[in-house]
Every structure is written in C-alpha cells, then in structure tokens.
Structure 1
Amino acid sequence: MDRKLPLLLITSDPKNRVQLSNRIRSLQLFDIHTVENSTSAIEKLKNNNFHFIISDIDIGDVDGWCLSSLIRSDIYVCDRKIPIVLLTDTHSERIAEATAKAFGINAVLTKSETSKVNEILADAFSLSLPISSKMTALNVMADKSLASEIELLIDSKFETFTVPNAKDGLAILRQQNIDFLIVDNALPDNTASELIKAVHQELPEIPCVVIVPRNDIEVAEYYMIHGASDFIYRPLNPSRVLNICERAARRNDFMISNNQFAQKVSQLEQSERKFRDLFDEHTTLLENLSSVVIELDKEGKIKFLNKTWRSLTGFSIERCIGKNLLEFIEVDELGAVRFTAKINSMLKLNQTSSTEEVKIRTAYNYNLWVEIKLHKIIKNGVTSGLSATVDNIHDRKKAEEKLSHLALHDTLTGLYNRYYFDTQLSRLTLLASRGDDSHCLLYIDLDHFKVINDTEGHQTGDMVLREVSQILSQRLRQSDILCRVGGDEFVILLSSTTMENAKTIGNNICKQISDTHFQFSNNTYKISASIGLSEIDGHSTAPEYLRQADIALYVAKNKGRNQIHCFAEDDVESTMQFDNMKWVHRLQDAVINDNLILHFQPVWDLEENKVAYFEALVRLQHGDTLTFPNEFIPALERAEDISFLDHQVINQALKSLSSNPELHRVAINLSAHAFSDERLAPLIESKLKNTMSMVIELYSNSLNQPA
C-alpha cells in the first residue's frame, strides 16, 4: 500500500505507548502519531485528518471524554464520526456503556485488554461499532399540549415517543427498548396508577417519572411508594424537567454499576486465591501454560516440548523430539526462509533473541499463524541451544487480513474503494510523469438509478449496484482497476491505454448497461450510464485528472446521458461546464462570507405620487468586483443549482425587510425553476413567521422607549 492511514495515540504511559504502538504497527496499515497530553492532541487534530483515535482518559487539562465530545462537535479536520477507543485502568461496564453513549465513544477498554485493539480497529473500519444515539423516552399522556411541551423540553437529550393511553404505553414497553417512562397522573380512570404498578412488577429496570399537580405532596408520595423514580409538578418548570428526566434515565446505570463493582471485588478476591493455588502448584505450571515451550539443541533439533504442543498442532510429543523445528514450518511461506536464517544467525552469531511470525503445519490438515519468540541459551560462555515460546496468533492475523481487506474494498460490491482509487491514481500519475505510457480514467455515473431506489427501496438498489459491478468487472483486463467511489459512482483506471481505446471501452459499457433489464416483482426498470473520460498523460496532477473526468461526466449528462464524453482543454462544452462549476462555487462562497448583496430599487406609483414598493435586485460581491445577474444566473441554471440562489435571495430580502422599516413592501425576483421547487413555499412561510416575530418585537421595544 502506498499510503498508510493516520492514527492518533494519546497516552502519557511509556510502557502502554510502546505496547500499543508495536501491536498496531504490526498491521503495517497505520501511520501512528503519538502525543502525551490533550494540549498536543488538540494541536494535531487542528491540522491532521486522522482516521482513528486511541486515548487514555487522564490526558491533561481536557480529559479523554471531553476531547471525544469536542471531536464529535465537528470542529477539527477529521471526520466527526471517526472511531474513538478510550483506555481505562479499570471500569464498570454499565457506567462505561452509559458514558460512552453520551460522549459518542466507539469502545472502552481496560489497559489489560489492549490485546484486542487490532480487532477493535477491524470492527470500527467495518462500521460495526456505530456511535450511540440518544436515549429513548416514552410519554404516556392524553393531553397533546402537555406531550408537545415535554417533547420540546427534552428533545436535546432524548428521542421521544408519545402514546395517549396506558394500554398502548405498556404494549410499547413490552416490545421496544425504552430507557425511561413519563406518565401523566391525569390519565382517565386511574390508569396512570395501574400502569406504574404494572411497570414496577414486570419491568422494574425501567425508571418512571410521573407528572402530578403542583404542591400535591400526597399524590407524589403515593406514586413514589408504588414504583415511580421521580415526579414533575404541573404546570411545568422548564429548568427542572430535563434535569429530572436525565437523573431518572441514569438511575439504573448507577444501580447496576454498584452491583458490577461488587462483582469485580469478588472476582478479584477469587483471582487472588487462584494465584496462591497456582503458586503452590508451580511444579505443574510449565505443563499447563497456554504457550508452547520448546528447547532446541545447537543444531536446531527439538529437545523438549510441553503438552501445549500436542493441543496446538495435533502431533505427539514423542514423535517430534529429535526432529528439526524447521520441519514444522510451512515452506510455502516466505517467512520460512527468514525464520531459517534467523535460527542460524542466533546459533552461530551474537544475536541473543528474536521474534518471528510464521505459519506452522498441523496434523489437522491446515496451517496456523504463530508467533515464535527465540532466546539464546548460553552455558559457560558457549551457545548450547535455543529456548522458544510459541503462541497462537491465528485469530489476530485473520482480523488483520479482514482489516486490510476493509481498508481497500467497498463492503457492498467487493470492489476497490475510494481510498485505493486515490493511491492508484497517484501511482499512474507518477508513472506517466516519468515518460511511461499514458493511461486513462473513466468516471461512471448511473442515470435514473434514483428511480429504482425511491420506488423499490435501498435494498433493491443495492442489488442493482452489485449487478452493475459484475457487468463492469467483465469488461476489464487484468491490469485495469475498477473502484466504487460513491453511491452510484464508479471509476475505472485503464493502464497503458490510448484515449481512442478508452472511448471504445466506455461506449461498450454504456451499451451493455443500457441493454440490461432489471425485473422486480411486476416492474421492469432500465438504467444507463454517463461516462467522463480524461487522459493521464503526466502533465498534470492526480486531483486535476479526476476533476477533468468529473467535468466530462457532467457534459455527457447534459448532452442526453447514456454516452461517454472525452475531456479536452480546447473543448467548448468542457470549458462551459467548468465555468458553471466555478460560478456555483462563487455563489456558495458568497453566501458563506456574506457577500450576497441586494440592491432595492424603488418603483414609483404615478397616481399616488409615492413609492409603491421596492424591487430586490441581487448582486455578487467577488473581491472588489460587483457582479450582475446576467453574468452568473445562466451558469447557475445550466448547473441546475439556481434554486440555491432563490432560497438565499428570499432569506436576505426578508432579513432586510425586518430591520429596515422604510422597506414597507418588497418584490422579489425568482427563477423559473421556483415553480417546481417543492421546498420554496414552506421556506417562505417559515421565514415570514420569523420576520413577523422580529418586527413585532422591534415595535414593542420602540413603544417601551422613553420619549
């Protein structure tokens, strides 16, 4: 692999840092950056796009939990969904689970469990360790206004479900995973009391908060006695509602964690007793080790084996004594040659120890990955042989292979992924710059694929993507590289291929995809492919070749789709598409930097002899230049991004209207696309409501000002 994935390791423990670094480095997939505290970590995060983070909790002014919270807030260069693993000296599983859920941690490990870190990385890469979502609350209340008020107050921390009666509430509790329950005691026919009693008997692990009339102590005491965890007075005190709900939701976490801590104490006492027993039985320890123990003579022949050898390999100890250890090393592996040289070096030269990973043969007709640690035995200053321990690392190596595969492949189609494509595009760019053959890049986007996704569902869409990947794979030579880089986007790198041949391949792909019919139930669908082609000729950079193919792809779509278009510097269509994309970027930049300007032109009413209204005219401020609509609107319409401008003009016009009373009436010009924009009417309605609220507030404040 040309480029390794950056991983940030934050720990002030030198021993832990070395152990973790060696373990992770063995994967040969990561570029490890190590820092000792949160201050250094934050500086790294500001400037580097890491793919994984492993951190102690106690790392300085900002602890590991808070640092994770900062990362999840999306303020650093890395993706806010980056996998994060925290290391602790010890922890209660329930508290760790609850706290990790609150801070978005993927996994919490004790430092004694760091041997699992490679498997954790593999699982995180395959997205099987998702960041936890909000806790769930169930409201049981017939009063819709009360339910809405509760949902609004706790929305920031809880996913809320509401049902109008006790029967429905109990049914949901029995069927779904609910973190806590809120019940209005005003449910008809005293059903609130019956519901709380039923929950207390059937599901005592679910905390329950009851809403009671203000200052009605007797009712509150009654519910607390019969199973409620806490109560809220009605009318609601907003500052207390969220606090009480969080306290109730966390109640079981702390109760369960107390039991877990008690169990850990008991387990520790049992472990101490076992240790004393093992110490007393030290004479049998060697035969009960999980590692194989071997002694070799100075010729590399086996002199001693413990019983673990039999359980690991299936070979009897008696038949193996006297044989050379190399007879059990899998000779097809390159590691066997290196291992042979290492043994000879230790027996004849000054090297005293070594660690090697090799495959060994077994009596079960399969090979095992093992780690062999060799140590020289010296007696009276002379090398008399070697001692060795052998550990089964087969599961770990399989996890590494899984991680290596996931790092380079798309999980849906099995094709290479965007990361692998980037590395190979860079490689071909470098080869082309050295004067080797030119290469070609095909950027493929499926036309009308969204129709299948929206009509038949995403699972059916996934089936189509897998079938398309098979079609594309059949068109490739062994030297070509096919990758899936987006939802329905694929790229093909054609090595040592002319533009003419690449265009022929692209036309064949278009035809084969358009000729394919997809049958689901009684519906038949057809899709096509638009393809952009660029030549990797060694005169530009990898990102530029990708940009050229992207521009050519858009041209192919604009020309009617189901065709291939070749990028060329003197191509009018490519140049026009590039200009369109630049104007879209300038518009987005103008919105971000508040450079979208409205000029208000008065329209005079001749009969009334006054200003009838003001017409809002949009301008773009680009540096010191003021750009008028006739220069950028056609490009935005061609790029199908004009609705974005419509929305921003409405927003700016209403903002100006609310802060400038003299603009008593404003006319806003919109594009023709606005008539088909389903989002436009709700946007205008929402902005008008906000504007009216601001105007009323300004008017009220002006009335309260002293004369």
Structure 2
Amino acid sequence: MVFEVAVLPRVLLIEHSPTIRHIQRNLLIKAGYEVEIDSDHKSAIPRIRSSADDGVNYDAVMLGWPVDTTIETASFCKMLERQAYASQVILVFAHEENDAVADWSKTRPNTAFLFWADYKRSTNLLSQMLADTSKRKANQAENLASVQPIRVLFVDDSRTVRVKYKRLLNANGYATEVAGNVGEGFEKALASPYDIAIIDYFMPDATGDVLCQKLRENETTASITSAIITGSYLDKAIKESLEAGAVECMFKNESDDLFLTRIDAMSRHIRAHQAIEKERKRLGGILRSVGDGVYGVDPNGHISFVNPACRQILGYDSDARLIGKSAHQLFHFADGEGNHVLQQACFLQESYANGDKVQARETIFWHRSGKPIPVECTVYPLTIEDKREGSVVAFRDISEHKLLEAELRWQAGHDALTKLHNRRYFEEQLNLEVDRLKRSNEISALLYLDLDRFKYINDTAGHAAGDRLLVEIAQQMNQRLRKSDLLARLGGDEFAVILRNVTKKSVVHVAEDYREMLDHYMFVYKDNQYKINGTIGIALIDKASVSSSEVLANADIACHIAKGEGRNRTHLFVQENDNKQAMDKDLGWSSRLHKALESGHLILHYQPIIPVEYIPTSLMSGSDGPIYKQLLPMVPESSMINEALLRLDDPSWGMVLPGAFLPTAERFNMMDKIDGWVVNAALRQLAQLQQQGYTGTFTINLSGQTITNMALIETIEELVISLGIDPSKMILEITETSAVSNLISANQLITRLSALGCRFALDDFGSGFSSFSHLKNLPVDYVKIDGLFVRGVAADTGDRAIVQSINDIAHSLGKMTVAEYVEDAEILSFLHQIGVDYVQGHYLAHAMDISDLPLGDNANRANNPSQSQA
C-alpha cells in the first residue's frame, strides 16, 4: 500500500527579536506550517534568492518590520519588489504602523500588514492569502494550459548575468535554460528544443555570431530564433551577428522593460509562426487525405493516370482527356519566363526515360489557362514485378511560398517604416559601386543627409509625428531620384543617396536641390506646422576610392563639417580640408575606444583621498611629496577613500590619460558604455576586497551623459545585491555642471541610490559659482572644490576667499568637503587652517594600480599581481 505524504506550506519567518520568533514559530507549527527562521534581512536575501533558483519557493514570508528602517531592510524590500518575486506572499508585522511600512504594504501585490499585538490572527490571515494566491495561480494555469511557454536558451559567460536574466525571463512566463559558452550552448540546443536563443557576443571560446551561424546551419536547430546581447555597441559585432542569422541585437545596459519588449516581439513572431505552422499541418492533413497533385507516366512521358487534385491544380475538369498525352506538352513545356524547353533538355522528361528519382525539386507547371504555377515536385520510379513501368510524379503548388519568399527578400533589404532601402542593402550596393568604379573612369557620389529638427519634432509632437515626418521626407526625396540613383534610410533621421555617373559640379547642384526641398517643406501634424531643414555631406566616388566604408566616413565627416558651419547647408568632402584631420582624430579615437572596450584595454588606477584630521602639522611645511607612505600608519583604513580613475592601456601608445579620449567619447555618445565598464570593474574590485576584510571606501565618477540613463540605476542596484557589496562604502561623483543642467535626473539618481545606502559627491564645485542656490537642492554628502581654485590659494587672495566660502557654505548645509589638486605643503596648510575635511593631490599620493595600494593585510593578500584586474 502506498501512502501519500501531505506537503506542509513553507514559511520563512524573519524577526530580530528571539522572543517574538519563538512565539510566532510555535503558533505557525501548531497551525500546520513548516517554518524556517532568520534573524535579519541581509542574510534573508541570499536565502530567498537561493530558494527561487532551486525552484522550491517559500509559500509565504513573514517579515518583522524594524522600528527604524535600515539599509538591509530597504535592500530586502527592493528585491521583493522585482517582477521575479511579485507572486510571493508577504505578511508584514510591526509594533506600530509608520509611513514606510504602510506604503510598502499597500503598493506591493500579495502583501498584508498586521500589528504584533494581533499576532494570533496571523495564521488565519496567512491561510486566506495562500488560498487567494492558489486560486489565482490555478486560473493562470488554466488559461495557459493550452499554450506552451516560449522556450529560451540564454548563453553568457557571466554567471551573474545568467542568473539575472533567467530570473527576469522566468518571472515573465518564459521557460529559460542557461549556458556558459558557445560549446555548451550548442550542445543544449541539440539536446532540447528551444524557440529563442539569446547569445552574448563576447565569450571566451568564441563570439556569439559563431553560435548563431551554427544554429542556423544545423537542421536540428535551424528553427531557433537567435538574438545577440552585448554590453557595448560595436558596428562590426552587430553586422557579423546579423549576417550570421541573429534577428535582433540587444544591449545589457538597456532597461529590463525594453529587453522584455524585444523578447515579447520575437515571441509574438514565433507564436504567429507556430500558429501558421499548426494551420499548415492541419491543412496538410486534409490535403493528404485527398492527395497532392499526382500523375503517372510511362518511360516516354505519356500520362497513365492523374488524381483529382492534379486536375484541380492545373485547371482540368473531370471530363478532360489526359491519359495517353505527353506530360511535357501539357504541364512543363516552358520555363517561368515562357521560353520553350526542349524535351531533351527537360529534367523531368529525362527522369521519365531513365527511371531517375527526383526529390522535392522546384520547377514550373503550366495551368490550362496559360498561367505559370511554381510547384515542388518529386518523381518516383514505378516498378511492378521487377519491371520498370514508368514513373509517379507528386507535386504541390508553392505559389504562396514563393510570394512569402519574395516578401521576406523585400523585407531584408527595405526599411519597414519608409519602404526605402535599408542600411544593409545600401552598404552592399555602395560596396558594388566602389568596386565598379575601380574599372571605370566615371564618377559617382554619395549624399549623406541628416534632418536638423527631427529630434525637436519627435520630442514635442511625439513619436507618431516623427514617424510620419520620416515617411513624408522619404516620399519627397524619392520623387527626385533618377532611375540610376539609389535612396536609402540609414537609420533614425539619416538618409543616403548614391548618385551614379555625375560631375563634381552637378552633384553639388543635386545636393542643393535636396537641401532646398527640405528648407521649403512645411510639415503639418494635428493642425501644427513645423519648419524642416537638413544638412548634407557629399563624398565623391571614383577609381581612387579605397573602400565603401571610407566613402561613407567621408560623407559623414562632410555632414559634420556642414553642421559645424551652421546646419541647413551642404558640404563637399575635400581630402585636404583641415577639418578632416580633426574629424579623423575623433573617428580614430572612437574606433580605438570601441576596441578598448572589446579587448579589455581599459584599466582603473586609484588615487587616495586623505582625511585632514589624521595629517600631522609637521607634514604641512617644507616636506617633499608624496607623503602617502608616511601617513599610512596614522590613517585608519575605514577612513580612507580611493578614487577610481580611468586609464587606456593602449598596446601601441602605452598608458593614456582620460583627457586624451573622454572628449571624443562624449561627442560620440560612448560615455554610457564607458561609465558602465567603470562601475562594473570598480564594484567587482570593491566586492573582492570587502570579502577579504577591506573597510575603506571607493569613489566612482559618473559623466553628465550617464546621469540621465536610468538603466544605470538598476545596474548598480543589481551589482550591489549580487556582489554583496556594503553600499555605504561607495561614493558616486557627479560634476556640478552636469548635475545643475540635469537637475531632475540628478535628483532621481541620488534619491534612489541613497536609499540603497550609496553616498554622493558633487565634483568640480565652484566651476558654476553662481549656482550656489542649487547646492541645497542636491542631496549630496560631499562637495569637491574645483581644483582650479585650490591650486591658486597659495598666491591668490581671490582663490583663497572662494575656497573658504565654498567650504563654509558646504559645512553649513551639513556636507563634507574635499579639496582636489593639493600639489604642495603650503596649499595643504591653508586647507587645514580653514577646516577642509579631505584632501587629494600629488603632494599626498599619485594615482596607482590597485595592486600597489596598501589596503590592509587581508586586502593585500587578495591583491597579488595576478588578481589586480576586476
């Protein structure tokens, strides 16, 4: 006899008080619950995460809310707010209801609040909540019973990334498996069926496009929809991935919502394809019950029988006499263009005569009405009693399949919005044109057109207006094309035209014609009128042109020059133009930075920031710097701050300071990627050191472009939680200029990450001296006084007054002060006199590799040279 064992509901009880834990635990056990206990929220985070990873979730969590909300409580609640834990039942206990617990309990789903005084009601309330949750899950399961979840294979060499995205996908209804490299991913794809493969581009054993190619070429995995995900934008990576079969390129610094939107779009396409495939199979079953078109022939090709489907497909009624007639003369006497095909040159007639087997070959059959029909036919030799009697031909009409192929070919080369050619097709044609002109004396030209006011219209009137504008501009430009020209939309508000067989004079005239068309065009949307204009860069193409990429770069440079001259104008690229050198420099740095992000050539150095209170007055007069080693025995590690400073370790040039390449990165909108790398690398180094007992603080700079990137907040939160970092040992620096110009975004960033426990510093304060009023509205912890003033305090009374004023006002607002560029003992002495809290500069310590920082005995052992990289 087999007895069924009842499974008790699992409850995790989190409460600091041993007495309350004991009372509540006994009450739950008596009510029939299996109880696990934890005394604090910090240790409960990995417990719940581990439980979810193992697929054995707690049925409920009973959360004791502390009198004072702590960092650990905020982190714990932030985790439970994520989509992955949205269905988790939470019962919150508190001695009194404050705003924090009330708001959280009301806004989070599946959550209830109960006073500790009413703890005896907890079992009944918990039972009701679990019953309601069970009913909802049953309804969801019933709705989803007939629909299999989309199966996702996520391939990434980072375990943290794999865990994050697996949780995110599973929480949103996807069935997700993970792999750590290309080889493992391909093995899993062969072993189990998947609908989508999301593949990291940069992995140790091979790049992601290799796996895309392997999946596409293998019969077992060819139906998997592949997408590339990467941490950095790289044209080459995206191009190779798309060519290898990826349908989408995504970025890890995108928000989770955008990532899920992309996956949802792919899923809808897959669902639609599955529905079509299901319908095709159903119709196929019906067709097979009556048969595809089938006819028989003797060795000479004369028809011996036909089935009803054959007559129907080819337009012959049941009375039409077909037996004994030549199949070649009736069905396949000509090719698709109507050109007559001789019997001796017809592969079908040859197979009839030789008894050859033909498998699923596409050809043209002719309808009785004279219309060509694309068909897929198979020929089987007919043998009766070891004697070949002829052949049996089975065929089916593939007209719709051919139309779909034509549609897909069109889509592959066209922009869905404007119906113009897309960038991929354009670059192929530009490459062909450059190759053609190497064997000709003709001259062609490339026009690179960028709309000047598109962003304004898109932002003020909405994306629908922006899309409408792009369609109208495409139509206007299309009307001016010659038959030999090619117009394409490269992306965003950028268009390009290849003008074939032109002169230098005529191409400038044509470009001006396009510009004037835009200048005179008035865009009307919802009764509002908008003025439109555009800037055009021109690059000539002749036999001296090296490559299509050079031509495109030249046209882009010309467009930039035209924009710099005031926009709404054209510019013809001239090789000797002085502006090209500057643009070449920028483009060279851009390429070098992309390569540095890809190849790991970026590194971090650290410069100590010393609390002034620990510096003896004996080192403030007449000493030669740096004095860092003399200070080490005096400064507690917990009071030490180290600022992360970016360096480019160029294989050809050696160590490059950021002043050489960050301006280019800003112009090319690369700061999001660079800041993302810095944050990731610094926090991983900090986590490694904290695991070894390090108690100091790291400070990390964020650029003005990154302040507005709200996805960075989620990245930092995820890293803090996944790496187990003490966030109070993190200081994030933003400059005064970027904070004031992006005041709303800066406040959002500071407020959200301060709640996590991070601290903030306002860098280069004083560069916008008239903005003192903004200081009280920015909830930063530190104010870093602009080094421009600090360096002059020894000789300039004005600089002394400014530095002292900044220090006094910052202190009056409860903020600590840091003075940068402390280059000698005299500067340090003055800063000590006026009460600056921290100092930084070459007199104290140079920036150094983390392996050279004396970070305490435990930390030092963790940072031998082989471990100095994050």
With the length of structure 1 as denominator, give the TM-score of the two structures. Answer: 0.53
**Whole-Å Cα distance in 2 between the matches of residues 647 and 385 of structure 1?**
74
Amino acid at match of 2:326: N
Equivalent residues of 2:381, 2:390 under 8 A apart: yes
CA-CA distance at 1:512 after TM superposition: 0.9
Deviation, 1:404, is 1.5
Paired letter, 1:307: P
Identify if the C-alpha distance between structure 1 residues 185 and 380 changes in structure 2 by more than 3 Å, giving closer, same or farther: closer
Q: Give, in whole Å, the separation in 1 of the partners of 2:548 and 2:502.
A: 17
Distance 2:610 2:573 in 1: 47
Question: Counterparts of 1:507 and 1:398 in 2: how far apart (Å)?
Answer: 40
Name the CA shift for 1:318/1:668 in 2 (closer, same or farther; >3 Å): closer
What is the one-letter code of the residue matched to 1:324?
Answer: S
Report the equivalent of 1:324.
326
From the superposition, tell whether residues 553 and 151 of structure 1 become closer, same or farther in structure 2 (CA, over 3 Å): farther
Counterpart for residue 289 of structure 1? 290
- Are positions 1:229 and 2:141 aligned together? no
Q: Which residue of 1 aligns with 2:310?
A: 309
Contact kept, 8 Å, 1:510 with 1:562, in 2: the verdict is yes
1:575 maps to 2:581:
yes
Paired position in structure 1 for 2:123: 217
Name 2:391's counterpart in structure 1. 386
Greater shift after overlay, 561-570 or 519-528?
Answer: 561-570
Q: Residues 569, 619 of structure 1: CA spacing in aligned structure 2 closer, same or farther, 3 A cutoff?
A: farther
Matches within 5 A, 1:670-689: 676-678=741-743, 679-680=745-746
Shift in alpha-carbon separation, 1:499–1:366, aligned structure 2, 3 A: same
Residue 541 of structure 1: how far off its partner (Å): 2.1
Q: Equivalents in 2 of 1:653, 1:561: separation in Å?
A: 41
Q: Which residue of 2 aligns with 1:424?
A: 429
Q: Would you say 1:482 and 2:484 are equivalent positions? A: no
Give the superposition deviation at 1:333. 0.8
The whole-number CA distance in structure 2 between the counterparts of 1:382 and 1:338 is 30
Quick one: distance in 1 between partners of 2:389 and 2:112? 82
Return the match for 2:697 from 636, 647, 658. 658
Q: Does 1:549 align with 2:589?
A: no
Equivalent of residue 336 in structure 2, options 333, 344, 348: 333
8 Å CA contact retained: 2:642, 2:697: no
In structure 2, distance between residues paired with 1:481 and 1:548: 18
Contact 1:442–1:534 under 8 Å retained in 2: yes
Conservation of the 8 A alpha-carbon contact between 1:347 and 1:383: no
Mapped pair 1:690 → 2:758 = yes
1:569-625 per-position Cα deviation (integer Å, ceiling 9, x unaligned): 211112212223334556677787445768789999xxx99979x999988555465
Structure 2 spans left out of the alignment, 5+ residues: 1-52, 54-64, 94-108, 149-285, 622-640, 687-694, 700-730, 761-779, 783-854, 857-870
**Structure 1, residues 352-391: CA drift from partner, whole Å, max 9, x if none?**
4464323444468965432222234467998754321121
Contact 2:489/2:496 (<8 A) preserved: yes
Q: Percent of pairs identical after alignment?
A: 23
* Post-superposition offset of 1:544: 2.2
Alignment of 1:238-277 (within 5 A): 252=142
C-alpha displacement at 1:668, in angstroms?
A: 8.9
Shift of 1:183: 8.9
- Aligned partner of 2:526: which letter? S
Deviation of 1:313 after TM superposition, in Å, equals 3.6
Report how far residue 321 of structure 1 moved. 1.1
Other-structure match for 2:565: 559
Deviation at 1:486, TM superposition (A): 0.7
Whole-angstrom distance in 2 between the partners of 1:151 and 1:365: 73
- 2:741 aligned partner, one-letter code: S
Instruction: Please state whether the residue corresponding to 2:491 is helix, strand or coil.
Output: coil
Structure 1 residue aligned with 2:79: 153
Contact preservation (8 Å) 2:299, 2:355:
no
The change in CA–CA distance for 1:531 and 1:297 in structure 2 (over 3 A counts) is same
Q: Structure 1 CA distance, aligned partners of 2:339 and 2:383?
A: 25
CA distance, structure 1, for counterparts of residue 314 and residue 333 of structure 2: 13
Within 5 A, what are the aligned runs for 1:104-143? Answer: none
Q: Quick check: 1:501 aligned with 2:569?
A: no
- What SS is found at the alignment partner of 1:555? helix
Say if 1:314 and 1:363, in contact at 8 Å, map to a contact too: yes
2: CA distance, partners of 1:150 / 1:249? 29
Contact 2:298 2:352 (8 Å CA) reproduced: no
Q: Is the 8 A contact 1:603 1:611 kept in 2?
A: no
Q: Which of 447, 453, 456 is 1:451 aligned to?
A: 456
The verdict on how the C-alpha distance between 1:636 and 1:499 changes in structure 2, with shifts beyond 3 A counting, is farther
- Cα deviation for residue 219 of structure 1 reads 3.6
Question: Against the structure 1 CA distance between its residues 472 and 627, is the aligned structure 2 distance closer, same or farther, given a 3 Å change threshold?
Answer: same
Q: Tell me: CA distance 1:328–1:582, structure 2 relative to 1, closer, same or farther (3 Å).
A: same
The CA deviation at 1:522 is 2.6
Secondary structure at the aligned position of 2:374 is classed as strand
Q: Does the 8 Å CA contact 2:487/2:497 hold for their aligned counterparts?
A: yes
The one of 455, 464, 470 equivalent to 1:465 is 470
Looking at structure 1, the residues matched to 287 and 603 of structure 2 have their Cα atoms a distance apart, in angstroms, of 77
Query: Judging changes above 3 Å, is the alpha-carbon distance between structure 1 residues 530 and 593 closer, same or farther for their aligned structure 2 residues?
Result: same
Amino acid in structure 2 at the alignment position of 1:319:
A
Deviation of 1:478 after TM superposition, in Å, equals: 1.6
Alignment deviations for residues 100-154 of structure 1 (CA, whole Å, 9 cap, x no partner)? xx9xxxxxxxxxxxxxxxxxxxxxxxxxxxxxxxxxxxxxxxx9x9x99997334
The AA in structure 2 aligned to 1:327 is: L
- Asked whether the equivalents of residues 335 and 364 of structure 2 are also in contact (C-alpha less than 8 Å), the reply is no
1:375 corresponds, among 349, 359, 380, to: 380
1:616, 1:653 within 8 Å by CA — same for their partners in 2? no
Does the C-alpha gap of structure 1 residues 673 and 580 become closer, same or farther in structure 2, counting only changes over 3 Å? farther
Displacement of 1:300 in angstroms is 3.2
- Please report how far the alpha carbon of residue 316 of structure 1 lies from its aligned counterpart in structure 2 after TM superposition: 1.0
Distance (Å, rounded) in 1 between the aligned partners of 2:439 and 2:747:
57
TM-score if structure 2 supplies the norm length? 0.44
Q: 1:523 deviation in Å? A: 1.2
Secondary structure at the aligned position of 1:467 is classed as: helix
CA 1:645–1:395: 2 relative to 1, 3 Å = closer
Counterpart contact for 1:302–1:320, Cα < 8 Å: no
Q: Secondary structure at the match of 1:319?
A: coil
Compared CA separation, residues 320 and 484, structure 1 to 2 (3 A): farther
Cα distance in structure 1, aligned partners of 2:456 and 2:382: 72
* Cα RMSD (Å): 5.6
In structure 1, give the amino acid aligned to 2:536.
Answer: I
Determine if the alignment matches structure 1 residue 442 to structure 2 residue 447: yes
CA shift for structure 1 position 520: 1.2
CA pair 287-447 structure 1, distance change in 2 beyond 3 A: closer
Distance 2:138 2:287 in 1: 52
Contact kept, 8 Å, 1:619 with 1:626, in 2: the verdict is: no
**1:291 CA drift (Å):** 0.9
CA distance in 1, matches of 2:511, 2:752: 47
Distance 2:618 2:529 in 1: 65
Structure 1 distance, partners of 2:81, 2:733, is 36
Gaps of 5+ in 1: 1-101, 103-142, 161-179, 187-207, 231-244, 259-284, 661-665, 696-700, 703-707
The answer as to whether partners of 1:597 and 1:621 remain within 8 angstroms in 2 is no
Aligned length: 471
Structure 2 CA distance for partners of 1:645 and 1:360, relative to 1, 3 Å: closer
| Contact 2:420–2:489 (Cα < 8 Å) also in 1 | yes
> Within 2, Cα distance between the matches of 1:671 and 1:581?
29
Alignment CA distance shift 1:618-1:552 (3 Å): farther
CA contact (8 A) 2:299 2:354 kept: no
**Structure 2 CA distance for aligned equivalents of residues 667 and 405 of structure 1:** 49
Using the alignment, how far apart are the partners of 1:220 and 1:459 within structure 2? 48
